Amino acid sequence: MSQPGAVGRRPTLEAVAALAGVGRGTVSRVINGSPSVSERARAAVESAIAELGYVPNRAARSLVTSRTDSIALVIPEPETRLFAEPYFSDIIRGVSGVLADTDMQLLLTLIRTSHERQRLAQYLTAHRVDGVLMVSVHEDDPLPDLLDRIEMPAVLSGRRSDLESVSYVDADNVAGARSAVRHLLRRGCRAIATVAGPPDMYVARCRLDGYRQALAEEGLEHSDDLVATGDFTEDSGRAAMRALLERRPDVDGVFAASDVMAAGALLVLRESGRSVPDDVALVGFEDSVVARHTDPPLTSVRQPTEEMGRTMARLLLDEISEPGRLRRQVVLPTELVRRQSA
Amino acid sequence: MSQPGAVGRRPTLEAVAALAGVGRGTVSRVINGSPSVSERARAAVESAIAELGYVPNRAARSLVTSRTDSIALVIPEPETRLFAEPYFSDIIRGVSGVLADTDMQLLLTLIRTSHERQRLAQYLTAHRVDGVLMVSVHEDDPLPDLLDRIEMPAVLSGRRSDLESVSYVDADNVAGARSAVRHLLRRGCRAIATVAGPPDMYVARCRLDGYRQALAEEGLEHSDDLVATGDFTEDSGRAAMRALLERRPDVDGVFAASDVMAAGALLVLRESGRSVPDDVALVGFEDSVVARHTDPPLTSVRQPTEEMGRTMARLLLDEISEPGRLRRQVVLPTELVRRQSA
DNA sequence: GTGAAAGCGCTAACAG
DNA sequence: CTGTTAGCGCTTTCAC
């Protein structure tokens, strides 16, 4: 530690063996927690390790085990802005928390260009990580299939469809949407509209399903002119809300498939002279921090993002250590957070 | 690529050499772009590489070169919430963008507990990365000194003091604060207060300096009761603003050292019946996304966060490839973003 | 310019 | 239980 010329060679397993008066094999066994080591030997090795401040050389280990002790978190860049801020940091926080107890490392991979995709594919094919975590995967993304083909353990956040073939962790979007609409029903809303997401995204379909289910439960109208579709942007939320108001001026409740779209809807409602939530109650699915900063802050369906990160990491570690060809699937509950005063 | 039993061994340099009809050394030279290879040999090797889909084994290379081709981005966890969302993702975006052109990998390291700190220190001491990027380092953080001692290339975002000994990239906090206050002056404010940050943080001192400089330039009062101190939290911003209003009911402009504190101040101003920005103009330093979501959105001093990330990465790569013992220091300009209608 | 040979530090298989 | 041995795949002298 306090060596003056600390630059030089760091101690090797060999040095530890010499100091402990044992063979290299024994040192290796101690490090890897093999049970077949005598107490005496283990003690000697451990104190030698401590004395030398020995840390195993990962490259050398990796070379022989062909494990890398690292996993990659892959984030498609375009998403970064839309499904905004707290989402990714929470995921990272969760993942990182689980990994901290391991000696696995987390590699962060932002994918911006198709060139970078390419490089990632090559990287993965070369098995330079032991597993992959993927956030917001699109239905047409070829990566999951690649992962499957090269037998690389992987866990997705969200699924691409009902029949997702890769392990995943998802929020219960259907139930979340249902609870949002039930909330509106409890408030006494009768003409409940929804600003839905793009129908080619599974998550959007789920949220729309939840909306429909909640209305059906109540035997309520379930008319097409109460559904407007956006693309998760604020502008599209605005446009959808305008369309809705035109078709159904009597609307008194809106469930938006994302808080960003909800924010857009909120502005339009205001412009139209309606007060929120008194004239029209508004609930959004909370994908970003926006719900907390609108005025008034929106009641919204919150996803357990950090927990999703933790769960993803755990599933992946499982899958790495026990590569049974079984798919692991977890759907986590959401929570309705009341923020509007009323 | 389309091999059926793609599971098996991936091709090695040896295989490439065999196919190209050259020795392993030559293949290695080609891969590492050595000039002393004949055109003929190079072509043969390259086509062999393509045919086999060869990708070098990083562990093996690392073992012999004792470089890891990866750098760590270290983020102290507590910060994650406070200096909030876009900051870190922007930094990451910037860093990752620069690294994409390299074959360096980015390791993400969140530091939560002292135990994790410990592990990181050990990790770094074992030289398991080629360099380190550190975000929001505290003055009493022992890590920079450790890095220095083990001669690990490092770049900080922000500096700990005027005499920062480690390379860094910082925003020009002094100039930023100055521009904020000048803006208030131009608006005609005469009693300009500041909600300052904790005096033991260099960044806070810089912003306070800038505030003072701008007032001094104008020959304006520079009284202590126009300065209230917070700790960058919204609550502290509220408290500071209350204190300010009590001491100086005539205040007509406020510069807050962070947008989060500005948001707190905004609420207090409202409660006190003052309208912003008409009665009291408010400008904050934009550390988070909050400035954009207050009502009205705050005019604020924006930092070039992504650019900071890019610059950090570049400096670090420089430092790694050319470990001259010279400190690299960059101070990036800020920008005043007018968001208030007036 | 290029092949051959010598390891980098570690694990795993094999005798003892 | 433990020491010894043989590589893992690559870079890098060092002769040719």
pLDDT tier at A35, thresholds 50, 70, 90: confident
Q: Does A105 touch chain B (CB under 8 A)?
A: yes
pLDDT classification of B258: cutoffs 50, 70, 90: very high
- Give A289-309 pLDDT, tens digit per residue: 777 777 788 899 999 999 999
Tell me the pLDDT tens digit for each residue of B289-325: 777 777 788 899 999 999 999 999 999 999 999 887 7
The residue whose CA lies nearest the C1' of nucleotide C7 is: B64
Q: Among all chains, which residue has been given the structure tokens 């220190």? A: B121
Q: Is the CB of A60 under 7 A from strand D?
A: yes
Q: What's the pLDDT score for residue B80?
A: 58
Candidate from A201-205, A325-329, B53-57, B331-335 with smallest mean pLDDT: A325-329
The SS3 of residue B153 is: coil
Q: Which CATH number fits domain B70-171+305-332: 3.40.50.20, 3.40.50.2300, 3.30.1360.120, 3.40.50.720?
A: 3.40.50.2300
Closest CA to A318 of A43, A102, A147, A88: A102
Q: Which of B119, B125, B128 sits opposite A58 (nearest CB)?
A: B128
Question: CB neighbours of B166 closer than 8 A, spacing ≥ 6?
Answer: B144, B147, B148, B154, B155, B156, B327
| CA atoms within a 13 Å half-sphere pointing along the CA-CB vector of A44 | 19
Q: How far is the CA of A120 from the C1' of D5 (A)?
A: 38
**A75-79, A328-332, B22-26, B115-119: range with lowest mean pLDDT:** A75-79
A148 reaches B (C-beta below 8 A)? no
Q: Find residue B109's DSSP bridge partners.
A: B74
Please say whether the beta carbons of B16 and B27 come within 8 A: yes
Which of B10, B52, B110, B113 to substitute to test the interface with A, most A CBs within 10 Å?
Answer: B110
What DSSP assignment string belongs to A93-135?
HHHHHHHHTTT-EEEEEEE-SHHHHHHHHHHHHTT-SSEEEEE
CATH of B13-56, one of 1.10.1060.10, 1.10.260.40, 3.40.640.10, 3.40.50.300: 1.10.260.40
Amino acid at A222: H
Mean pLDDT of chain B: 89
pLDDT reading at A84 higher than 90: no
Is A92 part of the contact surface with chain B (CB cutoff 8 Å)?
Answer: yes
Contacts of A326 (CB under 8 A, 6+ apart): none
Closest to B136 (Cα-Cα) out of B234, B194, B202: B202
Q: Report yes or no: A135 and A100 within 8 Å, Cβ to Cβ.
A: no
Over residues A73-90, the mean pLDDT reads 72
Report the percent of chain B where pLDDT is more than 70.
95
Task: Over range A222-229, report the average pLDDT.
Answer: 92
Distance from CA of B109 to the nearest CA of A (A): 7
Residue B156 pairs in a beta bridge with: B134, B168
Helix (H/G/I), strand (E/B), else coil: B96 = helix
For residues A138 and A79, the answer to whether their CB atoms sit within 8 Å is no
Cβ atoms of B308 and B332 closer than 8 Å: yes
Give per-residue pLDDT as tens, B81-125: 544 567 788 898 899 999 998 989 999 999 989 888 988 998 898
> What residue in B sits closest to A77 (Cα-Cα)?
B93
Look at B108 and A92 and tell me if their CB atoms are within 8 Å: yes
Half-sphere exposure of A257 (CA within 13 A, CB side): 30
Q: What is the pLDDT of residues B65-79, one digit of tens each?
A: 989 999 999 998 776
Is the CB of residue B163 less than 8 Å away from at least one CB of chain A?
A: no
Check whether B2 has a pLDDT greater than 60.
Answer: no
* Mean pLDDT, residues B278-287 taken together: 94
Q: Are strands A154-157 and A167-171 parallel, antiparallel or unpaired?
A: parallel
For residue B138, count CB atoms less than 10 angstroms from its CB and return exposed for 0-12, middle for 13-18, buried for 19 or more: middle
Residues of A in contact with B59 (CB under 8 A): 58-60, 62-63, 66, 68
> Is the CB of A3 inside 8 Å of chain B's CB atoms?
no
Per-residue pLDDT at A81: 58
CB B89 to CB A88 under 8 A?
yes
CA A109 to C1' C4, whole Å = 40
Q: Do B93 and A85 touch (CB under 8 A)?
A: no
Is A81 an interface residue toward B (CB < 8 Å)? no
The domain limits of chain B are: 13-56, 70-171+305-332, 173-302
* pLDDT value of position A1: 33
**Residue, of A89 and B29, whose pLDDT is higher:** B29
* Residue of chain B minimizing CA distance to A63: B59
Query: Looking at residue A241, what is its pLDDT?
Result: 98
Tokens of A285: 């699915």
Residue A341 — very low, low, confident or very high, per pLDDT cuts 50/70/90?
A: low
**B93 and A109: CB-CB below 8 Å?**
no
In the predicted model, is pLDDT for residue B260 greater than 50?
A: yes
**Alpha-carbon span B256 to B228, nearest angstrom:** 10
Q: Which residue is nearest to nucleotide C5 (CA to C1')?
A: B25
- What phi and psi values does residue B134 have, to the nearest 5 degrees? -120, 135
pLDDT at B77 (0 to 100) = 75
Taking CB atoms and an 8 Å cutoff, what residues of chain B touch A262? none
Q: In the prediction, which pLDDT does B324 show?
A: 77
Reduced to 3 states, what is the DSSP secondary structure of residue B146?
helix
DSSP assignment string, A27-77: HHHHHTT-S-S-HHHHHHHHHHHHHHT----HHHHHHHH---SEEEEEEEH
Whether A70 contacts B70, CB under 8 Å: no
Tell whether A88 lies on the interface with B, counting CB pairs under 8 A: yes
A41 CB below 7 A from strand D atoms: yes
- Mention every residue, 6+ apart, whose C-beta is less than 8 A from residue A253: A181, A184, A185, A187, A189, A190, A191, A192, A193, A280, A281, A282, A283
* Domain A173-302, classified CATH 3.30.70.20, yes or no: no
pLDDT digits (tens, 9 = 90+) for B119-176: 899 889 889 999 999 998 888 888 999 998 888 999 999 999 999 999 999 999 999 9
Residue A194 has pLDDT above 70, yes or no: yes
- Strand D reaches within 7 A of the A68 CB: no
B60 and A55 within 8 Å at the Cβ level: the answer is no
Q: Same topology for domains B13-56 and B173-302, yes or no?
A: no
The CA–C1' separation of B23 and D14, in angstroms, is 15
**Is residue B198 within 8 Å of B227, Cβ to Cβ?**
no
The pLDDT of B8-27, averaged and rounded, is 87
What is the DSSP-derived secondary structure letter of residue A274?
A: -
Hits for CB < 7 Å against strand D across A residues 251-270: none
* Sign, Cα dihedral of B92, B175, B284, B167: positive
Q: Bigger pLDDT: B28 or A8? A: B28
Instruction: Tell me the two tokens of residue B243.
Output: 């204190």
Residue numbers in B near A145 (CB within 8 A): none
Q: What is the pLDDT of residue A9?
A: 66
Instruction: Supply the pLDDT for residue B243.
Output: 97
pLDDT in tens, A125-147: 889 999 999 998 888 888 999 99
Strand arrangement of the beta sheet that strand A167-171 belongs to:
A329-332, A167-171, A154-157, A131-135, A70-76, A105-111, B105-111, B70-76, B131-135, B154-157, B167-171, B329-332
Judged by CB atoms closer than 8 Å, whether chains meet at A107 and B110 is answered as no
**Contact in structure between A168 and A158 (CB atoms under 8 Å):** yes
Nucleotides of C under 7 A from a protein CB: 1-14
Query: What is the reported pLDDT for A85?
Result: 64
Q: pTM for the full model?
A: 0.90
Q: In this structure, what DSSP letter does residue A226 have?
A: G
Residues in contact with B91: Cβ distance below 8 Å, sequence separation at least 6, in sequence order: B73, B135, B157, B305, B306, B308, B309, B312
Residue pairs spanning A and B at CB distance below 8 A: 122
Which protein residue's Cα is closest to nucleotide C9 at C1'? A60
Can you tell me the distance from the alpha carbon of A234 to that of A260, in angstroms, rounded to the nearest whole number? 5
What pLDDT, on a 0 to 100 scale, did the predictor assign at position B239? Answer: 97
Q: What percent of chain A has pLDDT over 70?
A: 95
Residues in CB range of B269: below 8 A, 6 or more apart:
B241, B245, B254, B276, B279, B280, B282
A276 lies within 8 A of chain B by CB = no
Evaluate if the CB of B25 falls below 7 Å from strand D.
yes
- Please, what is the Cα angle at A55 between A50 and A58, to 5 degrees? 160
Residue-level pLDDT at B5: 29
Beta bridge partners of B302: B286, B335
